[in-house]
Chain A
């Protein structure tokens, strides 16, 4: 279970407050969506969960299965089960996709007290998961994300997610830059990972993604905190009325 309590976050080197007393609970096995206008702090929330530098938590806490994430390095959080699918996946020239996947998978397995995968074991698993995501295996021999289309990058993120077997998936604007076909493949990949043991936080600006990844709950984030919470129909209402009500409210 993810519990975010009274979270206050500012930029580390500026006095700009981004999250201002955010409370949120995502129970085990549930998929929650966070929607909100641009600049409301959605991506900051994703980054703070994953432990990116450049932000300062001035108050509150983030508990994952009862344990605070705040003191953990990003790789320790990954081992604890946190996975962030990036809005803009990074390119790593000179490192083959398979090398990267194997390094990451075995680093996480090692920290979780599991045996590292041998090369044949790894290849078998990755072939299966890549095929399910409609990823051309040859593509994984190329450097990570270099020269990939927007859709290919997002599928590559979901493949990493599938390999690392996280228990908390944070998807940051996974729909951005995707056409309908790519959106469907990526959503199918995410849905295949839904399980009673896995929580998901789906961050999006648009309702469209939530037609494919149907959430248990929808939260509206604006002005640094959750303004309202509802079921999947709330997303449809927002699609009609927009975020104006939340932005303008005093």
Chain B
């Protein structure tokens, strides 16, 4: 029996904003058709809520924020000097970059020197290639509102020596919805390191909203290190999807750092399509105050002889809530699959909460799959060890938290990227000490 679902204020606002924004959104008539279909699909889905199993811990219907107006133009004034400030620890890296401001490509801020062996273009240059994804409410909203993103094509056999940064900056006094669609394609035997950065220009609103979707295809024998650093400011909302498919003997090393965000939902879906491929999908989530950071991961062993490793380590202080949902699917014929998944939380406050939901769906009989989950306070013996070496309690605490995060970040093999991620984590920790010093 069909049930009439009452639309929330946010749902209605999103539909209205879509109608208003549509004439200004990029792309030809075909794209506009995709967008209309996507918003219709969204209306059908509604905002996800806790009675949908995958959204049990993250209810967007009750999220306190109204949707921000979509960003449809690129008027914010910005110089390279501003960009350098916003990049923080990533500015010292020898890296190429493609830069988006409030969801729009900025050629003047981008620098793709050293990437002549590959193709890096903004989606806005070839908008009609947009794939009309509407698998759930979040991807539907992405298709409806997307304004730009990076299209990265690494030809067969090419090794990209320096990392490529895909920078998404939130700028301005008013909260805006930035919708980004990236597409990364790594050719057979090719290799690259790509880092997506979601940052806010210091002094801008920290209420920004982002919906980012990245489609990744990794061909036979290729290697991709794929990193995301999220630090958009204290009250930001961030919804993201990584849809990854990898071919035979390919190697995918992914890492996501989430900090400085009020509400984040990071969805990662990886599908093995060829045998003897390997993935390591790891990350760290850092929450305090009433931050809510959700990582929802699905690894699909659709073919035999593949290996998956996941390690997510979170630090939760104040009333922060961390969520890890990890699902490993092993299809009936996917024998010799090898999967290991681990989620850990360091609880710095009695009011913090960690919800961990591992799921193994195994339909083959010759597989090795395991998962684990822990939530613990700081180890008192380690605290004593540090203090006995003269390190004061507050500093010892910071050192041990850093150690906990460091263990996860150590999975990032590119040293420059790893160092920058460590600096991001340090900056997050330092904010705590600043706050403590004030109170």
Residues of A whose CB lies within 8 Å of any CB of B are: 50-53, 73-75, 77-79, 83-84, 86, 89-90, 92-95, 100, 103-105, 107-108, 111, 143, 160, 164
Contact = CB atoms under 8 A, between A and B. Distances in A.
A150 to B, nearest CB: 17
B390 A111 contact: yes
B411 to A, nearest CB: 11
15 contacts: A53-B380, A53-B384, A73-B387, A75-B388, A83-B388, A90-B381, A100-B386, A103-B391, A104-B386, A105-B390, A108-B389, A111-B390, A160-B389, A164-B389, A164-B390
Interface stretch (B17-25, B52-60, B393-401): B393-401
A107 B390 contact: yes
Which of B380, B390, B393 is packed against the most chain A CB atoms within 10 Å?
A: B390
A47 B279 CA distance: 45
Which of A89, A94, A95, A108 is packed against the most chain B CB atoms within 10 Å?
A: A94
B410 interface: yes
Given A84-B388, A107-B392, 5 more contacts: A78-B389, A90-B382, A95-B406, A100-B386, A105-B390
B45 interface: no
B242 interface: no
Nearest to B381: A90
Nearest to A101: B389
A202 B394 CA distance: 31
B404 interface: yes
A83 B380 CA distance: 18
Contact of B403 (A53, A83, A94): A94
A104 B403 contact: no
A160 B388 CA distance: 11
Nearest to A103: B391
A95 B390 contact: no
B407 A94 contact: yes
Contacts of B385: 86, 89-90, 92
Nearest to A79: B390
Nearest to A104: B389
A93 B384 contact: no
Nearest to A106: B390
Interface residues of B, number: 25
Nearest to A145: B385
A51 B388 contact: yes
B405 interface: yes
A154 B217 CA distance: 49
Contacts of A92: 382, 385-386, 399-400, 403
B284 to A, nearest CB: 11
Which of A74, A90, A103, A111 is packed against the most chain B CB atoms within 10 Å?
A: A74
Contacts of A108: 389-390
A115 B348 CA distance: 33
B61 interface: no
B387 A95 contact: no
A93 to B, nearest CB: 5
B106 interface: no
Contacts of A103: 391, 395, 399
B327 interface: no
A192 to B, nearest CB: 20
B390 A75 contact: yes
B319 interface: no
Contacts of A86: 385
Interface string B354-398: 000000000000000000000000001110111111111101100
Contacts of A160: 389
Contacts of A90: 381-382, 385
A205 to B, nearest CB: 22
A74 B409 CA distance: 30
A79 to B, nearest CB: 6
B407 A78 contact: no
B402 interface: yes
B392 to A, nearest CB: 5
A111 B390 CA distance: 9
Contacts of B384: 50-53, 74
Nearest to A161: B389
Contact of B391 (A50, A75, A84, A94): A75
B402 A94 contact: yes
A53 B404 CA distance: 22
A52 B381 CA distance: 9
Contacts of B395: 103, 107
A74 B393 CA distance: 9
B403 A93 contact: yes
Contacts of A84: 388
Contacts of B399: 92, 95, 100, 103
Contacts of B402: 94-95
Contacts of A89: 385
